[in-house]
Structure 1
Amino acid sequence: MSQPAPPTLPPEIQAWFDARGWRVRRHQHDMLSKAREGRHALLVADTGAGKTLAGFLPTLCDFASSAGGAVHDGLHTLYVSPLKALAQDVKRNLLTPIEEIGLPIKVETRSGDTPSNRKKRQRERPPHVLLTTPESLSLLLSYPESADLFAGLKRVVIDEVHAFATGKRGDLLALALARLQAISPELQRVALSATLANPLSFQEWLCPQLDDGTGEIRAADLVLGETGAAPEVEILLPIEERVPWGGHAGRWAVGQLYEAIKANRTTLIFTNTRFLAEFIFQCLWEENEDHLPIGVHHGSLSTEARRKVEDAMARGELRALVATASLDLGVDWGDIDLVVQMGAPKGSSRLLQRIGRAGHRLDTASRAVLVPGNRFEFLEAMAAKDAVDEGQRDGEEFRAGGLDVLAQHVMACACAGPFNEDDLLSEIRSSLAYSWVDKTGLQRVLSFVESGGYALRAYDKFRRIVRGKDGVWRLSHPDQAQRHRMNAGIIVDSEMLMVRFKNGRKLGKVEERFAAQLSAGDTFFFAGMSLEVEVIKDMDVVVRAAKKSATIPSYGGLRLPLTTHLSGRVQEMLSDRAGWGRFPDDVREWLEVQDYRSIMPAPGQLLVESFPRAGKHYTTYYTFEGWNANQSLGMLITRRMEDRGLMPGGFVANDYCLAVWGLKPVDDPKPLLSPDILTHEFTEWVTESHLLRRAFREVAVISGLVERQHPGKRKTGKQVTFSTDLIYDVLKKYEPDHVLIEAAWADARARMTDVGRLADLLERSQRELVHIELDRVSPLAVPVMTMIGREAVPQGGVDDELLIEAETLAGEAMRIGPE
């Protein structure tokens, strides 16, 4: 069967492609065809395949005069991205074809960094194309003029959809898409991604069986891009030393990394945390004898600092940039010829995304170097490299939408104008994330937004909406709209203080808990500079330049989870003895001695080792289920040990292993791991611990119950915590089935503890547990054992004591003969 002819481009757009020596790729033609057929579409294509241009090509064609395109008034296309930097980068690259072709298209960005006067003007006189984030879109929809603003909207383009669709930002965007579709029924939805393991799930999320009123089902179509050049990935190893036993910073590699920077035009160095970005930047700067221009970029830096670095990269002025996930999505800097991943990548899709920043052209192989911080990270790096080489991807699964996000959306709808409950329910249910919501469920949320719930009904401060005699819901007072817009959002960071010079120049933000440790005269390293504290006043840390500093701010953000896919690959590597030949000599020796003195943990098996050391009894559990699950398991096991008189002393965990110690030996670990631990100890522990309180604090802020911002004043983190703790105690006592208690439990179980992986592990332990009793520490236990006593040290911190302890443990573990 012959393929249909590709759609014809307007002559001026075809001429622009020809002038650049480009051909219109098949998937770009396909996306144009889908648009002309009125279909929603998900495009999955490799980095550098021209995904963004494919998403915007129908818009460019709509404005081409030769195609009979009329001059459009108002907003035509909405582009939604997970990052402010990505929107800015797309604007730069989108303006080039618009200006060179001569299309009458006005493009602007809108985010939290956009000045308020420009935001106001955008609502009154919008551009043709608006580049924004899910949060800013939700706020736009909260204005009464939103119905007029979006009435003529033709297309929504969602870039890097994998990065946020499965989380709460995706919930918020799904609700916004449902509202946009109600305002503009002919709206076309487009999503773009380079790294999807399960495209069908994203097709359903993007357009869950929408009916346009004709009875026709308009689910999103899948468009697959042309295959690009395979990436070239290598793992950096110490030249003279051994792969480290412990640590995550990869400081050992700084000298080799600096040589790579000198050998390449531009190098982009990714880290998994903001602390590590500052730490590696400082290490490189100390190594930088040639005074090469090297920058740092992460989300806590000021807008001015981030833009300065982004513009310098766009102009090709930097030789290297150290960054976090703030830059790993879609940023198109074609001059980057090497990407470095410091530490473990945690997932093959994330690694592919970051690798794709190099070259950023479909026919050019992207080059990447992985720098493992320790021996387990070396195995993880190998597993990720193999997955990339095989084209295997991983990702998070979708789950039911959060009730706190739904409450925020309900309030945004009320700010836009009065609404009918049945109409809102129909609109909400048209999104996949909230298709489960029934009339009773919505009424629970409405009751919460109305008065806070029956336990809080007596307090006027929680009354935000009212239901009139006509059955229509509206704001209880016009002031509620301003309060909502000041506090709306999904990302709930720890409370931050601004770091600035006395002249007012802002450098960025540090967490309140870090600032609380500082006094006048203290020094720290931030934004690539050594700083001395002059004074801490209100929400500002006023600083001046210092000659030298050692402290680096750490941040309490969530750790990147190790994907189940990579976890399985690492376990397969450990059991594949024939494959050890490709490992460095010291790593191979490590595994061979482990195999001789104990056993290797096989896939599907739970290896538990017990051994004495320094008057204590240690038990190590090789779970490979990630740090969150291991932390939770450690809490639960120590509680059971306490109940059984085993006198636990504590535990430490990494992504691969959990080590627990006590004054009495664990002769049989199986009873400590029985699945009923999740129905008894787990519930008791979560209820009593800070975990549920922290989750409640976040859902209380997201839902709008507790406000961080008031006109002219912002609550400190302590004030927010105090407020949420008081409310939590009231609800726990008088309304334990409150909407926010339910939402907090969902967060605590799913996001903070990886309870699903924990349940699988416990079930497996009853069938496949192998307990080995040893006379001393095993080689495989050394990496986690080096962490004991240093749990509070920020990830990436390395000191002489840790290295000495690692060598001591390694000496015990690697000795073949009896102790």
Structure 2
Amino acid sequence: MLALPPSLSDWFSAKGWALHPHQLAMLERASEPASLLIAPTGGGKTLAGFLPTLAELGAKPASGLHTLYISPLKALTADIRRNLRAPLEGAGLAIRVEDRTGDTSYTQRRRQRADPPHILLTTPESLALLLSYEDAPRLFAGLQRVIVDEIHALAESKRGDQLMLGLARLQRLAPGLRRVGLSATVEDPPALARFLARHPDPCAILEADPGPDPDISMLETEAPPPWAGNGGRYAIPAILEEVRRHKTTLIFHNTRAQAEIFFHELWLQNLEDLPIGIHHGSLSREQRERVEAAMVAGQLRAIVCTGSLDLGIDWGDVDLVIQVGAPKNVKRLVQRIGRANHRYNAPSKALLVPANRFEVVECVAALEAVLAHTLDGEPRGPGPRDVLCQHILIAAASAPFEADDLYAEVTTAGPYAALNRAAFDDCLDFVATGGYALRAYDRWQRLMLRNGKWQLRDPRATQVIRMNIGTIIDTETLKVRMKGRGGMPLGEIEEGFAATLTQGDTFLMGGQVVRYEGLHELTVEVSRNPGREPRIATFMGTKFATSTLLTQRILTIFQQERWPQLPRHTAEWLALQREVSRLPEPDRLLVESFPHDGREHLCIYGFAGRNAQQTLGLLLTKRMEEAQLAPLGFVATDYATLIWGLEAVTDPAPLFDLEALRDGLETWLAGNAVMKRTFRNAAIISGLIERTHMGRRKSGRQATFSSDILYDTLLRHDPGHLMLQITREEAERGLVDFGRIEEMLGRIDGRIDTIRLNRVTPLAAPLFLEMGRVPVEGVARERVVAEAAEALMAAAGLG
């Protein structure tokens, strides 16, 4: 086993610290080609990842880069640098640690390439950039270890695919490289190990003692949750009481818009002026840093936040996490719970706040999953080809390459291990020529073959390639700033939302109501306007779909005879549904048909997630039109789709023919903006369209305009083009989630229960409240919704 330097061991002893078993295990397994450490939040897993590096550098000081640490967050690299400084300085170890992210100055980045530190902390994008330089072989020649933190988060996105291609390149430059992955939440350790390791090398899996179960429950409130909605405003008095009782509380929301609305309402009811902040990705960096500094200093009692605080940054003394709205995903919930009591073997404390009546059931399902230690996760598909195309460009920017060598290298990356040579050659041909329809244009003639090696046709293209590295696609946004010379930056809003604003309109930004004054040089200028009812900015926050694991647990709960774990009002609601109709079952599809308010309604309980239920609504209404059943519209939630129209559907089974639905999807996608938006994203990642040209970032409109022309051209002249293939795969997997529809149809295998009723059912009633939702929140709207809910529930027998 590697031994720590005596001075470091002495420093640990002086602090009264002893290494945990999993940290000692990392020292014992330091020579493994790949290791995956799964340890609970607060268990010192990041230190465990670095211990072998500190042992090796302490025993034999080296020159050059020894260890590369890669994190999904820039802020996490800065946090790790601060945390490493204490033991290094305390033990007197001459080990240089630096970070390199998009915030690092140009001067420092140049110096790091010429004189690299022993430990470099960076992000996947910065690593890809470093690999694009001609001196990459010299920089990485002595690299011994790479540590990938929060690897579960990277594995769920294209950033992870790009990183694994980068590690394949690093392994070629430094054949003795050892890989370490760190995570607290892993649903399938062997699958994540295969993702991390060099294919077909093995990967050791080390699992730490998970520690005590979290102290997690549902928040008890005087008022029951409303029948619909997702804001959790009814629970604010109870939430404020919890904030008073704890030192620091993180209040998580699933979207940025929800966080803004909730923060505004929380502040209005915060009569004691408790110091409360807000943190999400659409706020300006200055605002985020002010909140982070206040958290570290212990100056805030609560922070309303989103996924921006999900990962392992240790901000201050957080002793309670509150999740407002159903978590949708057990793994994400576990990650968020771990923000509280960020210490080894100290139970985290968390409260769930369902935003509406159905979410009560989902929250109970999530609580049961957490305590059963079951995590969700959708199976990973093959590595996306648009990311591979970008990697080929990065390789060409660094040096000429042989196709056989690059193919062999790429297939050592876990996500691309099954990539066949024909698919690789298609990507190489696209990168080199643009493909059949575009090879006549000089701008897409990027690579040429010379002496058996592929190289850039124009060496000056390296600058363009480097400026366009990355797989994160920015939503088209505009900066928001207070009006006046040197006005304070507040953050960003989506361009589509800004286009709807006229002077005098108000909206929420950074928790305050602001008034739109005008647009100046692509910056939205605003002034403060307290006391006005705001419009709601549509931020880029993800609208999560409920995971397959959670929906299966919800359906299992429905099958219980009684529900002692549910609040009485929710148990009575489900019991009445069972009495007047039936409850959905795991292996059957429940379809209800009933008249209401002069219209015929069809309610399909697919439990396939919001995106899939939305797509199902589009496809079924199209099929109903063809059958002359006169549909008028639909609304979708995570668990059901409600369609209304002029004709009753007596036998819905033929509507669910899989082949007919797939044909309908093809027709719908071909003429829909979804495909053009998906094409634009894939075209940017693959390098077909530049997001940055000559140092200037293109506006969203410029990129969209050029991508629309390209999409139409390819569709007309080369419908089998690689980019159109990628676009179709991406659209089906992401925005429309057709795979969940196929999974649902496979699960029911034709078992459809159609029930004809004479009135709205209890389970269908909340969907009616989804229909007329408008963005303005206020007392008048609350009264209208309350009255509508009362009437509906009376009609459903719940009055």
Q: How high is the TM-score relative to the length of structure 2?
A: 0.96
Partner amino acid for 1:693?
Answer: K
Matched residues in 2 for 1:17 and 1:674: separation?
Answer: 65
Is the CA contact (8 Å cut-off) linking 2:67 and 2:143 kept in structure 1?
yes
Letter in 2 for 1:547: P
Partner of residue 664, structure 2: 681
520, 523, 538: which one pairs with 1:554? 538
* Bigger Cα displacement from structure 2, 314-323 vs 185-194: 314-323
Report what 2:516 is aligned to: 533
Conserved 8 A contact 1:197-1:394: yes
Offset at residue 712 of structure 1 (A):
5.3
The code of the aligned residue for 2:124 comes to P
The CA distance in 1 between the partners of 2:459 and 2:505, in whole Å, is 46
Unaligned runs of at least 5 residues, structure 1: 1-5, 211-217
Equivalent residue for 1:54? 48
Q: 608, 619, 633: which one pairs with 2:616?
A: 633
Query: AA paired with 1:375?
Result: R
Q: 1:617 aligns with which of 594, 600, 624?
A: 600
1:39 to 29, 33, 38: 33
Instruction: Please state if 1:411 is matched with 2:393.
Output: yes
For residue 679 of structure 2, the aligned residue among 696, 709, 712 is 696
Counterpart mapping for 1:266-665 below 5 A: 266-333=248-315, 335-468=317-450, 470-501=451-482, 502-503=485-486, 505-549=488-532, 550-578=534-562, 580-665=563-648
* 1:74 aligned onto 2:57: no
Greater Cα offset, 111-120 or 395-404: 111-120
Alignment correspondent of 2:98 = 108
The 3-state SS of whatever aligns with 2:344 is coil
Moved over 6 A (4+): 791-794
Compared CA separation, residues 127 and 8, structure 1 to 2 (3 A): closer
Secondary structure in 2 matching 1:752: coil
Q: CA deviation at 1:351?
A: 0.7
Report Cα offsets for 1:339-392 as digits up to 9, x if no partner: 010101112111111000000112211000111001111111100101111111
**1:10 equivalent in structure 2:** 5
SS in 1 for 2:437: coil
* Aligned-pair identity (%): 45
1:802–1:117 distance in 2 versus 1, CA, 3 Å: farther
Equivalent residue letter for 1:496: T
CA deviations over 1:556-594 (Å, ceiling 9, x no partner): 55421211111111111111122x123212111111111
| Amino acid paired to 1:416 | S
Relative to structure 1, the CA distance from residue 703 to residue 406 in structure 2 (aligned partners, 3 Å threshold; closer, same or farther) is: same
1:213: which partner in 2?
none
Pair 1:203–1:29, CA change in 2 (3 A): same
Cα deviation for residue 274 of structure 1 reads 0.9
Partner deviation per Cα, 1:272-295 (whole Å, 9 max, x = no partner): 111112112111211222222211
CA RMSD of aligned residues (A): 1.9
d(CA) in 1 for partners of 2:127, 2:4: 31
TM-score computed with the length of structure 1 as normaliser:
0.94
Amino acid at match of 1:220: C
Judge which range, 88-97 or 258-267, deviates more: 88-97
CA separation of 1:482 and 1:789: change in aligned 2, threshold 3 A: same
Per the alignment, residue 150 of structure 2 pairs with 160
- Please, which moves more after superposition, 298-307 or 155-164? 298-307
Deviation digits for residues 90-134 of structure 1, max 9, x if unmatched? 222222222222222222222223333332332223222222221
Q: Secondary structure at the match of 2:121?
A: strand
CA contact (8 A) 2:67 2:145 kept: yes
**Deviates further, 644-653 or 15-24:** 15-24
Matched residues in 2 for 1:145 and 1:475: separation?
17
Q: Distance in 2 between matches of 1:32 and 1:734?
A: 59
1:597 and 1:370 map into 2 onto residues whose CA distance is 30
Deviation at 1:782, TM superposition (A): 1.7
- Give the Å deviation of 1:301: 1.7
Shift of 1:446: 1.6
Q: Taking structure 1 as reference, are residues 175 and 504 closer, same or farther at Cα in structure 2, changes over 3 Å only?
A: farther
CA contact 1:189–1:206 (8 Å) conserved in 2: yes
Q: Which amino acid aligns with 1:304?
A: E
Q: 1:535 to 1:116 in 2, by over 3 A?
A: farther
Query: Do 1:108 and 1:130's aligned partners in 2 also have CA atoms closer than 8 Å?
Result: yes
The superposition leaves residues 243-290 of structure 1 with CA deviations (integer Å, 9 ceiling, x where unpaired) of 210001101111211111111100011111111121121112112222
Kept in 2: contact 1:670–1:765 (CA 8 A): no
Tell me which of 17, 20, 25 is aligned to 1:22: 17
Given that 2:536 and 2:776 are in contact with CA atoms closer than 8 Å, whether structure 1 keeps it comes out as no
2:765 aligned with 1:782, yes or no?
yes
Q: Contact 1:243 / 1:586 at 8 angstroms: preserved in 2? A: no
Q: Offset at 1:722?
A: 1.8
User: Does the 8 A contact of 1:425 with 1:438 survive in 2?
Assistant: no
1:256 partnered with 2:256: no
* Secondary structure of 2:152 counterpart: helix
Query: 1:3 is matched with which residue?
Result: none
Structure 2 SS opposite 1:54: helix
Distance 1:47 1:798, change over 3 A: farther
AA matched with 2:766: P
Shift in CA distance, 584/170, structure 1 to aligned 2, threshold 3 Å: same
Amino acid at match of 1:436: A
* TM-aligned CA distance change 1:279 to 1:92, over 3 Å: farther
Partner Cα separation in structure 2 for residue 712 and residue 537 of structure 1: 21
CA shift in 2, pair 1:126/1:311, >3 Å: farther
Instruction: Map 1:784-803 onto structure 2 (within 5 A).
Output: 784-790=767-773, 799-803=782-786
Q: State the 1:44 CA deviation.
A: 0.8
User: How far is the alpha carbon of 1:480 from its aligned partner?
Assistant: 1.5
Q: Post-superposition shift, 1:766?
A: 4.5
Looking at structure 2, the residues matched to 558 and 813 of structure 1 have their Cα atoms a distance apart, in angstroms, of 33
Q: What do the CA deviations read for 1:683-705 (whole angstroms, capped 9, x no partner)?
A: 22222222222211110111111
Distance 2:783 2:65 in 1: 59
- Could you say what secondary structure the match of 1:814 adopts? coil
Q: State whether residues 561 and 626 of structure 1, in contact with CA within 8 Å, keep that contact through their aligned partners in structure 2.
A: yes
Structure 2 match to 1:215: none
Count of residues paired in the alignment? 794
Q: Offset of 1:428 from its aligned partner?
A: 0.5
* Partners of 2:536 and 2:775 within 8 A in 1: no
**In structure 2, C-alpha distance between the alignment counterparts of 1:94 and 1:29, rounded to whole Å:** 18
CA distance in structure 1 between the partners assigned to 2:290 and 2:407 by the alignment: 45
Q: 2: distance between equivalents of 1:428 and 1:362?
A: 39
Q: CA deviation at 1:443?
A: 2.1
Deviation, structure 1 residue 158: 0.8
Deviation at 1:302, TM superposition (A): 1.9
Q: Which amino acid aligns with 2:83?
A: N
Report if the CA contact (8 A) 1:403-1:740 is conserved. no
Q: Deviations over 1:595-617 (max 9, x none)?
A: 11111112222111111011111
Give per-residue Cα distances to partners, 1:21-59, cap 9 Å, x unaligned.
Answer: 222111111111111x24310001111111111111111
Whole-angstrom CA distance in 1 between matches of 2:433 and 2:153: 34
SS in 2 for 1:483: helix
In the TM superposition, what is the alpha-carbon distance from 1:8 to its structure 2 partner?
3.8
